[in-house]
Amino acid sequence: MLAFAEQLLRLPADTDGGPARPLVIHAALDLPQARPLLEAFHRRHPGIDLTYRNLTTLELHERFLAHPDEVDVLISSAMPWQFALANDGHARPLDSPHLEAWPAWARWRDELVAFTFEPIVMVIHRELAAITEPPRNHAELLALLNTHRQALAGRVASYDPVRSGAGYAYAMEESQLSPRYWDLVAALGGVEAELVETTGAMLDGLKEGRFLIGYNLLGSYAAPSVAAAPDLEMIIPDDYALVSQRLALVPRQAPNPQSAELFMDYLLSLEGQRTLAEETSLGAIHPALTGPGTASQLRERLGDALRPPGLGPGLLAGLDRLKRQALLARWQREFRREVAAD
């Protein structure tokens, strides 16, 4: 039985004596990033009695499958799992006036929408400078790990693709994108990298100085932590950068579909997206928004180095049981390759 370790936020309705309208949102989105959006929505719709639960990506997915009728909006960055739910008929068609202007690459069948644009990054501790220059791309990181194996032993962190849905999704994408990916996995194993479930765990270790390098962190979570920590630096690789996107859907069995529609309308509106751009580091997608905190600015700055995954059936490939087992088996084998060679 899976134990769900949730973070809970309640925003009670202010109805002046009228009936409250419940809204239950389950998400894999930490409260510091979610709160500005939720509070702005609640100010616009004070009659909503909002309950927000934050879970890990795999907890979120398994809880939904166990209780598909307890949630009105489901949000996750584990894109293959979200797409699978929509593809299997769990998503209610959306009737939002904002969908017509929404980019085609960020929606699927008007049932599933991407609403953020979050590059996957490296974060380094400035103590790394005593060993070597910081890596600016994957090739430099690979060379650094191989050259300074002893000095970096136990001081590198990355996602565990077995325990993290997001970590598995990144492994799946990167293994298809880069012919040197498996060499990089082996190099991570060679420095005895610590494998964790969340970006937060990597950031904690970096801030404490236990880690000198964090690999494949969510940039949206890393950016505010790095801004507040003089010893840390965030690097978007200049050869290629994966992009994570939060996908939102309204389940067919949502107990409060009208409240869910109100929230989805706000999520896709210019007002809601401006809140994302100005008050969070999640990256707004709305095509009318430019400047800091938007996908448009990142595309202008990084161009073809950004590699967002396509929102389509190709996401399902990594969820095939045999393919998943094969990829994870190879990942673990490559991670132990350097150790076995000693």
Residues 214 and 324 in one domain: yes
Q: Across the chain, where does the E strand assignment appear?
A: 7-11, 21-27, 48-54, 73-76, 107-108, 112-114, 118-125, 156-159, 194-196, 213-218, 232-235, 241-244, 247-249, 306-307
Terminal Cα-to-Cα distance of the chain (whole angstroms): 39
Q: Are 307 and 177 in contact (CB under 8 A)?
A: yes
- The domain that holds 325 is classified in CATH as 3.40.190.10
Asked whether residue 250 carries a pLDDT value surpassing 50, the answer given is yes
Whole-structure pTM value: 0.85
- Could you report the per-residue pLDDT of 162-189, keeping only the tens digit for each? 988 788 889 988 998 898 999 999 999 9
Confidence of residue 101 (pLDDT cuts 50, 70, 90): confident
84 lies in the same domain as 126: no
- Closest alpha carbon to 106 in 89, 85, 122, 82: 82
User: Is residue 175 located within the same domain as residue 276?
Assistant: no
How many domains, the chain?
2
φ, ψ for residue 336 (rounded to 5)? -95, 0
- Return d(Cα 75, Cα 57) in angstroms, integer: 9
Q: Are residues 237 and 275 in the same domain?
A: no
Question: Within this chain, do residues 188 and 325 fall inside the same structural domain, yes or no?
Answer: yes
What is the domain range of residue 78?
7-117+245-310
* Pairing status of strand 194-196 against strand 156-159: parallel
**With bands split at pLDDT 50, 70 and 90, how would you rate the model's confidence at 4?**
very low
Distance CA(147)–CA(158), nearest Å, equals 19
Over residues 29-84, the pLDDT tens digits come to 989 999 999 999 999 999 999 999 999 888 999 999 999 999 999 999 888 899 99
Q: Is the pLDDT of residue 3 over 70?
A: no
